[in-house]
A and B are shown apart, each in its own frame.
Chain A
Amino acid sequence: MEERIGVFVCHCGTNIAGTVDVKRVAEELAGYPGVAHSTDYTYMCSDPGQNLVKEAIKEHDLTGVIVAACSPTLHEATFRRAGTAAGMNPYQVEISNIREQCSWVHQGDKEAATEKAIRTIKVMIEKARLDEALEPISVPMTPRALVVGGGIAGIQAALDIANSGHEVVLVEKDASIGGHMAQLSETFPTLDCSQCIMTPKMVEVAQHPRVKLMTYSEVDDVSGFVGNFKVKIRKKASYVNRDVCTGCGLCSEKCPAKAPSEFDEGLAERPVIYTPFPQAVPNKPVLDAEHCTYFLKDGKCGVCAKVCPLDCIDYEQKDEIVEEEVGAIVVATGYDLYPIENMGEYGGGKYPDVVTSLQFERMLSASGPTGGEVRRPSDNEVPKEVVFLTCCGSRDPESHLPYCSKVCCMYLTKHAMLYKHNAHEGQAYVFYMDVRTGGKGYEEFYTRAAEEDDVLYIRGKVSKIFEEDGKVMVWGVDTLSGKKIEIAADMAVLGLATVPNKAAGELANMLKLHQNEWGFLSEAHPKLRPVESLAPGFYIAGAAQGPKDIPESVAQASGAASKVASLFAETEYHREPIIACIDEDTCAGCKVCVSVCPYDAAEFDEKDKVARIKEAICEGCGACIAACPSGSASQKNLTDEQLYKMVSAALEV
């Protein structure tokens, strides 16, 4: 069939027409091969403009449409819908960008801009002449989600997805869900107790009929694609039959060995068979084989097995792989603190009275190792002077990390305030670069600390911390007065930078998720798609994406959950059909395409000795097409033939 292309040149008011002679463009193109209709209009995207296109499609029986207007990122979808409404296949409607890449950038030269517009449109006419009618690829949708990470973001995402009617598998690497939020004492700016708002959510998610909670488990492998992921989850050996265990706690009580408590950030010890904290969910122990006498000394001990009334202890237990099928994956792997060992200028962790911010949280916590009293780790005395340091590792591009960790200004303010509530006679100093209080009620909170609780804020950086005569010597400078400051303090608290969780990096690599330079997960668009990953079917929530506080993490988690719910609203997922295809008649079976495909979408059929493209997986990058030596691989609606003709059109004299 002879192609009949319609060309619609938009004036965009004067945005295009002010520089490009749109009348001349439309007139010249009317005579171009394949063009059956060519016209111009002030605003093609307006209702009358779209109607003009729709009517012309019917009137001139068009086989293809070019709208010469703004960038395809703006109105390609608009005009494809208009085309569909007029009975045309949407993939035969194309945009030629003569605004962003022509009229706006060649404002001083109307003649040249007009000529470039003509050539730019010819390029798309040549493409449209060979465009085929395509249908989106439909793949079945498994309306079941995997949430990785059981901190507040993961819990919120799991709850929201489950409450929207879909099943969720929530995987947490530790023995309990709760994440860092469960460790916190009180939360800024309201000072409500973290456990009080966190534990009900932990219980809710664990008891939710649509949530399958897998703690002490890690994601080992993910294959497949949006709507159809296959996930292998490794249930780590806990040496406790946790399905039978009632959490009576006898084993932990009688266990003779001890190890540093992770939950208390090493400030206290826990038994070797332990639940991380009293409100743990599930409240069932795991056995830490690394420190267990039974494992270290060839079966000596075995106390836990002896005391367990239900015979739950199983020293022979092995890791178990569980397979799950899901349609979407939410990654909420959270954060870690920048290692104190990296802060050599502040002692690098060798001074007991220089503590991390999370250690200080545990001290402030009523359920913590000091029962909520601030005590010096070295001698258990109440410190009289405490120095709080912001930006430990953050905003320090020369020595550490360049970015702002966002939450430290606020939690150190909270720390200083709570310390003052704890030790009324004490003095709290906060060294700061800038106090960043961007959040509802945050500035007021900071003002309260400075004015009502007499926290002394000193603008400047601490250059060095060292121990002398039982004191923590803090050397800094007050940049406002220009004076050198020396404080013989009793304790220092480091507001260490927020970094992505260690395990998250490996997971991101496995899932092929983009990360920024520092390992935080990249969102699909920094403003408009903040909870989606560029890889379809993956969503991100919480501090895995960047430093953020609790309300932001919760909001992002709910956002990710609503994206998952809208994905699951359809029983099928539709993908763009602009993918690769292989001519099996000419395919020589060399497998080059298989080797270059980053998605394993090209597979070799051993029986027919040809390569085939898995349509549901192919992303349409075209790597296999450029690499195919026999020219058998092609891209739908961007074939080599189209590209050659487009190049020729771009150069036509």
Chain B
Amino acid sequence: MFEPRIVCFFCKWCTYAGADLAGTSRKQYPPNGVVVRVNCTGRIDPQHVLWAFREGADGVLVGGCHPGDCHYEEGNYKTMRRVQFLKRMLEDMGVEPERLHLEWISAAEGEKLVHVMSDFVDEVKGLGPLELGLTEERVTAGKA
């Protein structure tokens, strides 16, 4: 059974806190995602996402504050545009754009986090493992 590997970039104010709430509420979801906490989704460089795919991620989930709720006023709007742009790039590169998913999850939405995480894991399962066809040489080169 294919278990996708997923990197979750969560902003510390909303989605990370929403994930904490899912925990305190003991809601259950699949363990495929590992969280990288950032101050704001606006900190996420498109290269971080590409790097995740290159390093073997089958999916990348970005979680931030709802529009208008960004702790830093507008970081999430920047993310919204970057994710759109990245999805087009991924498509050009032959990667299904659905492997990158952006969702607004507030600190109060533990339940939503559970649904988003579960649905995304299912979706990536459906897409199957990401095959980038990188040679061993290329992988090592990137890590230097």
Which residues of A line the B interface, CB within 8 A? 71-73, 97, 99-102, 104-109, 112-113, 115-116, 119-120, 123, 512, 514, 534, 578, 596, 598, 619-623, 625-627, 635, 638, 640, 643-644, 646-648, 650-651, 653
The answer, yes or no, to whether B88 is at the interface (CB within 8 Å) is: no
Sorted nearest first, the 9 A-B pairs with minimum C-beta distance are: A622-B43, A100-B23, A621-B72, A650-B34, A104-B23, A623-B42, A100-B20, A112-B31, A598-B73
A621 touches B7 (CB 8 A): no
User: Which of B5, B26, B35, B40 has the most A CB atoms < 10 Å from its CB?
Assistant: B35
B74 touches A598 (CB 8 A): yes
- Known: A622-B43, A623-B42, A623-B78. Contact between A106 and B31, CB under 8 A? yes
Q: How far is the CB of A101 from chain B (nearest CB, A)?
A: 5
Of the candidates A107, A514, A622, A644, the one whose C-beta lies within 8 Å of that of B42 is A622
B27 touches A638 (CB 8 A): no
The answer, yes or no, to whether B143 is at the interface (CB within 8 Å) is: yes
Of the candidates B22, B23, B51, the one whose C-beta lies within 8 Å of that of A647 is B51
A107 touches B73 (CB 8 A): no
Starting from the known contacts A101-B19, A626-B45, 12 additional A-B residue pairs (CB-CB under 8 Å) come to A97-B35, A105-B31, A106-B31, A116-B31, A123-B36, A621-B40, A621-B42, A622-B39, A627-B78, A647-B48, A648-B143, A650-B36
A104 touches B55 (CB 8 A): no
Q: Which residue of A lies closest to B28 (CB)?
A: A105
A651 touches B31 (CB 8 A): no
B75 touches A73 (CB 8 A): no
Q: 19 A-B Cβ contacts within 8 A?
A: A73-B20, A100-B19, A101-B23, A104-B23, A107-B28, A578-B39, A598-B73, A620-B39, A621-B39, A621-B43, A622-B39, A623-B42, A623-B72, A623-B74, A626-B82, A643-B48, A647-B7, A651-B55, A651-B56
Collect the chain B residues with CB atoms within 8 Å of residue A106's CB: 28-31
Main secondary structure, interface of A, reads: helix
Collect the chain B residues with CB atoms within 8 Å of residue A99's CB: 23
Collect the chain A residues with CB atoms within 8 Å of residue B5's CB: 651
Interface residues of B in 49-94 (CB under 8 A from A): 51-52, 55-57, 69, 71-75, 78, 82
- Known: A106-B28, A651-B5. Contact between A101 and B35, CB under 8 A? yes
Collect the chain A residues with CB atoms within 8 Å of residue B20's CB: 71, 73, 97, 100-101
The answer, yes or no, to whether B95 is at the interface (CB within 8 Å) is: no
Collect the chain B residues with CB atoms within 8 Å of residue A534's CB: 71
Q: How far is the CB of A643 from chain B (nearest CB, A)?
A: 6
A109 touches B72 (CB 8 A): no
Q: How far is the CA of A623 from the CA of B73 in the complex (A)?
A: 11
B36 touches A647 (CB 8 A): yes
Q: Which residue of B lies closest to A112 (CB)?
A: B31
B39 touches A638 (CB 8 A): yes
Collect the chain B residues with CB atoms within 8 Å of residue A646's CB: 36
Q: How far is the CA of A613 from the CA of B71 in the complex (A)?
A: 19
Instruction: Give B1-44 as 1s and 0s: 1 = Cβ < 8 Å from A's Cβ atoms.
Output: 00001010000000001011011101111110011111110111
- Known: A644-B51, A650-B34. Contact between A100 and B24, CB under 8 A? yes
Q: Which residue of A lies closest to B114 (CB)?
A: A105
B34 touches A619 (CB 8 A): no
Main secondary structure, interface of B, reads: mixed
Q: How far is the CA of A302 from the CA of B37 in the complex (A)?
A: 68
Collect the chain A residues with CB atoms within 8 Å of residue B40's CB: 621-623
Q: Which residue of B lies closest to A525 (CB)?
A: B107
Q: How far is the CB of B42 from chain A (nearest CB, A)?
A: 4
Collect the chain A residues with CB atoms within 8 Å of residue B57's CB: 647, 651
Q: How far is the CA of A620 from the CA of B40 in the complex (A)?
A: 9
- Known: A101-B35, A120-B34, A621-B72. Contact between A626 and B43, CB under 8 A? yes
Q: Which residue of B lies closest to A517 (CB)?
A: B68
Q: How far is the CA of A115 from the CA of B33 in the complex (A)?
A: 11
Collect the chain B residues with CB atoms within 8 Å of residue A650's CB: 7, 34, 36, 52
Q: How far is the CB of A529 from chain B (nearest CB, A)?
A: 13
Q: How far is the CA of A71 from the CA of B18 in the complex (A)?
A: 12
A105 touches B29 (CB 8 A): yes
Q: Which residue of B lies closest to A515 (CB)?
A: B68
Collect the chain A residues with CB atoms within 8 Å of residue B23's CB: 71, 99-101, 104-105
Q: How far is the CB of B119 from chain A (nearest CB, A)?
A: 15
Q: How far is the CB of B131 from chain A (nearest CB, A)?
A: 15
- Known: A626-B82, A635-B43. Contact between A647 and B55, CB under 8 A? yes
Collect the chain B residues with CB atoms within 8 Å of residue A596's CB: 78
Collect the chain A residues with CB atoms within 8 Å of residue B35's CB: 97, 101, 120, 123
User: Which of B22, B40, B72 has the most A CB atoms < 10 Å from its CB?
Assistant: B72
Q: How far is the CB of B58 from chain A (nearest CB, A)?
A: 9
B43 touches A598 (CB 8 A): no
Q: How far is the CB of A158 from chain B (nearest CB, A)?
A: 29
Collect the chain A residues with CB atoms within 8 Å of residue B78's CB: 596, 623, 626-627
Q: How far is the CA of A512 from the CA of B71 in the complex (A)?
A: 11
Q: How far is the CA of A57 from the CA of B24 in the complex (A)?
A: 31
Collect the chain B residues with CB atoms within 8 Å of residue A109's CB: 31
Q: How far is the CB of A70 from chain B (nearest CB, A)?
A: 9
User: Which of A101, A109, A643 has the most B CB atoms < 10 Å from its CB?
Assistant: A101
Of the candidates B28, B46, B82, the one whose C-beta lies within 8 Å of that of A108 is B28
Collect the chain B residues with CB atoms within 8 Å of residue A73's CB: 17, 20
Q: How far is the CB of A524 from chain B (nearest CB, A)?
A: 10
Q: How far is the CB of A129 from chain B (nearest CB, A)?
A: 15
A105 touches B27 (CB 8 A): yes
Of the candidates B19, B27, B34, the one whose C-beta lies within 8 Å of that of A123 is B34
Q: How far is the CA of A635 from the CA of B43 in the complex (A)?
A: 9
Collect the chain A residues with CB atoms within 8 Å of residue B114's CB: 105
B44 touches A626 (CB 8 A): yes
Q: How far is the CB of B36 from chain A (nearest CB, A)?
A: 5
A623 touches B43 (CB 8 A): yes
Q: How far is the CA of A552 from the CA of B114 in the complex (A)?
A: 37
Of the candidates A108, A578, A598, A648, the one whose C-beta lies within 8 Å of that of B72 is A598
Q: How far is the CB of B61 from chain A (nearest CB, A)?
A: 12
Q: How far is the CA of A643 from the CA of B41 in the complex (A)?
A: 13
- Known: A73-B17, A109-B31, A646-B36. Contact between A651 and B7, CB under 8 A? yes
User: Which of A71, A73, A115, A512 has the most B CB atoms < 10 Å from its CB?
Assistant: A71
Collect the chain B residues with CB atoms within 8 Å of residue A72's CB: 37
Q: How far is the CA of A107 from the CA of B38 in the complex (A)?
A: 26
Q: Which residue of B lies closest to A116 (CB)?
A: B31
